[in-house]
């Protein structure tokens, strides 16, 4: 079955800001640090790093990382470092990822999310010497499973109509 090829409209900076704000709010909910609940900020940062690398970059990732550090009461810079590297690698491979279908994109995003969690784990282990267990990495797996849903939701405002309107030039 052939998928329709969409020509995407330009993304609104306001929509990007609202999506990042909603991701922060989802992380602020009480379930935010439970195992298996994805890091929504990391997921949305990867999405925008892949789809709009010139509009959401490393500076935004660093700021949101500091915000999450303050919220989580973790070592200042732990999430900032993880989000910055996550954003860097998402921007670095954005052209390759966009060629694939959604589930294959999710398989490309999974190592990025695992890397960010690995950095957080390394910093926590250096500071406290405690290992939280292998279930700690379940949030990256859940986030990768959510990648197709996040992609459909965040690209929805940019999609043009599939039906051609012959009164419009495009």
| Per-residue pLDDT tens digits for 102-134 | 899 999 999 999 999 999 899 988 988 888 888
Entry pTM = 0.86
User: Is residue 78's pLDDT more than 70?
Assistant: yes
Cα distances (angstroms) measured from residue 60 to each of 10, 41, 70: 20, 11, 16
Give yes or no for a contact between 39 and 143, defined as CB atoms under 8 angstroms apart. yes
% of the chain exceeding 90 in pLDDT: 56
pLDDT level of residue 36 (50, 70, 90 thresholds): confident
Give yes or no for a contact between 116 and 85, defined as CB atoms under 8 angstroms apart. yes
Mean pLDDT of 39-53: 94
Angle at 94 between CA 40 and CA 5, to 5 degrees: 95
Q: Which of 139, 142, 143, 149 is nearest to 102 (CA)?
A: 149
Q: What residue has token string 């849903």?
A: 149
Q: Is 150 helix (H, G, I), strand (E, B) or coil?
A: helix
pLDDT, position 1: 44
The per-residue pLDDT of the chain, averaged, comes to 87
pLDDT, position 72: 83
């Amino acid at each position: 079955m052939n998928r329709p090829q969409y020509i995407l409209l330009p993304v609104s900076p306001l929509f990007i800001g609202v999506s990042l704000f909603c991701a922060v709010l989802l992380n602020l909910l009480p379930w935010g640090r439970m195992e298996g609940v994805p890091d929504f900020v990391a997921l949305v940062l990867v999405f925008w790093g892949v789809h709009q690398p010139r509009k959401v970059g490393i500076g935004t990732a660093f700021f949101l990382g500091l915000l999450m550090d303050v919220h989580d009461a973790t070592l200042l810079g732990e999430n900032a470092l993880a989000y910055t590297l996550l954003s860097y690698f998402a921007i670095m491979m954005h052209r390759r990822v966009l060629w694939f279908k959604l589930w294959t994109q999710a398989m490309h995003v999974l190592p990025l999310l695992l890397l960010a969690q690995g950095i957080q784990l390394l910093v926590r282990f250096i500071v406290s010497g405690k290992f939280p267990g292998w279930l700690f990495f379940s949030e990256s797996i859940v986030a990768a499973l959510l990648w197709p849903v996040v992609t459909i939701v965040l690209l929805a405002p940019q999609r043009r109509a599939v039906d051609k309107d012959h009164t419009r030039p495009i």
